[in-house]
Amino acid sequence: MTTLGVNIDHIANVRQARKTIEPDPVQFAFLAELGGADSITVHLREDRRHIQDRDVFLLKETIKTRLNLEMAATKEMLEIAKKLLPDYVTIVPEKREEVTTEGGLDVKSNVNHLKNFVKNLEDSNIEVSAFIDPVSEQINYSKEIGFKFIELHTGKYAELTGQDQYEELQRIIESTHLASDLGLVINAGHGLNYNNVKKIAAINNINELNIGHSIVARALAVGLEKSVREMKSLITSN
Ligand code: PXP
């Protein structure tokens, strides 16, 4: 069954808007777990715009599910990950000027660097995933590099409508066939919400969906525990 990873970066965004101590993403991770989150995802950005180092170390101590650390493939982040020892790391591309992660990681252009990076993390018993676009070349290179997990970028699917969205959905489905034939574990995420999630959750072989913005936005109306529970029920009721 597809599991739900809840990204709590946006709780930290509200805190950082005032650079104060509330709301605390660590407390909200607890509520996400009560609502049925199977893992907690945080993106520790180079510019620390939302999640802080203190958050990731406290989450590692306090959550009862699994910690997914999203990070760029930099030396600084490698050192933090090896100290933190999250359950898994998702490597994402990172640009300072972007509002959120824009495209997938270009694994093809970084083969040697990523090979060493993945090995280094795996030697510390951390599972490593690559956040990539649903493109066969990127999937094949992810396998060659040694990733055992990939996260397919659903941002384009989420932005498109009508026939264009249908075609992007087909690209995601074909990507899952290829990745599954290669023996990769397939996660997916970005831009998923209460309206568009069901078609992605219905795809065979999707291990986990990582969802943040829509769940936190809905939490403002109904509370985080309930917004997570509603999303979990959408993705498990196929
Ligand atoms: N997966 C990855 C790799 C991401 O970078 C993000 C955004 O931080 C998400 C999933 C969640 O995206 P959203 O907040 O749009 O649900």
- The reported pLDDT for the residue numbered 94 is 82
pLDDT at 238 over 90: no
Which atom of ligand 1 sits closest to the CA of residue 92? 3
Q: Is 190 near ligand 1, meaning CB less than 6 Å away?
A: yes
Question: For the chain, how many residues are written?
Answer: 238
Which atom of ligand 1 sits closest to the CA of residue 155? 15
pLDDT at 182 over 70: yes
Q: Is 150 near ligand 1, meaning CB less than 6 Å away?
A: no
Is 177 catalytic? The answer is no
Q: Is 191 near ligand 1, meaning CB less than 6 Å away?
A: yes
- CA-nearest residue for atom 9, ligand 1, is 190
- The reported pLDDT for the residue numbered 103 is 85
pLDDT at 108 over 90: yes
Instruction: Work out whether the CA dihedral 66, 51, 100, 84 comes out positive or negative.
Output: negative
Taking all residues of the chain, what is their mean pLDDT, rounded to a whole number? Answer: 96
| Helices 213-222/224-236 angle, 10° precision | 130
| Burial environment of residue 84 by CB neighbours within 10 A (0 to 12, 13 to 18, 19 or more) | buried
Mean pLDDT of 206-232: 98
pLDDT at 95 over 80: no
Integer Cα distance of 64 and 44 in angstroms: 20
- CA-nearest residue for atom 3, ligand 1, is 131
- The reported pLDDT for the residue numbered 96 is 67
Residue 23 pLDDT level (bands cut at 50, 70, 90): very high
Residue 57 pLDDT level (bands cut at 50, 70, 90): very high
CA distance readout (Å), 59 to 56, 119, 160: 5, 24, 35
Q: Is 70 near ligand 1, meaning CB less than 6 Å away?
A: yes
**Residue of 10, 33, 50, 70 with catalytic role:** 70
pLDDT above 90 covers a percentage of the chain that reads 95
pLDDT digits 0-9 by tens, 164-181 = 999 999 999 999 999 999
The structural domains of the chain, ordered by start, are 3-236 (3.20.20.70)
Query: To 5 degrees, how large is the angle CA 88–CA 173–CA 202?
Result: 80
Is 190 catalytic? The answer is yes
pTM over 0.85: yes
**Residue of 43, 94, 127, 225 with catalytic role:** 43
| Burial environment of residue 20 by CB neighbours within 10 A (0 to 12, 13 to 18, 19 or more) | exposed
| Alpha carbon of 42 to ligand 1 centroid (Å) | 9
pLDDT at 74 over 80: yes
